[in-house]
Amino acid sequence: MKHLFCDVCKKEVVDPIPTRTFFSLREFDMCESCRDDLEAAVKYSVRNKKPFDFAWFDKLRVDLVEDGVKKNRISVSKTQR
């Protein structure tokens, strides 16, 4: 039995299954609810970005996760960057 802790909310993920109960982004491991928050936060920012750039997208996701690690949650708002 392996135990994993979410880097954002610090909750334990018991019996983690990659891409099903925990998700990795660079050096960060996230639980399913934190990943859902990340996807929602990114969604509002991507809608307004023209032209789309993958380097910008990757930087945005990492910045949101790093900010979430500091605050213990990923803030989802419609006025992201």
The string of pLDDT tens digits covering residues 27-68 is 999 999 999 999 999 997 888 888 888 999 999 999 999 999
**pLDDT for res 48:** 80
**pLDDT for res 15:** 84
* SS3 assignment, position 40: helix
Those residues whose C-beta lies under 8 Å from the C-beta of residue 21, and which sit 6 or more positions away, are 13, 15, 31, 32
Beta pairing partners, 13: 4
Reply yes or no on whether the pLDDT at 1 is more than 90: no
Q: 34 and 68 in contact (C-beta within 8 Å)?
A: yes
**pLDDT for res 63:** 94
> Helices in 1-53 by DSSP H: which ranges?
32-47
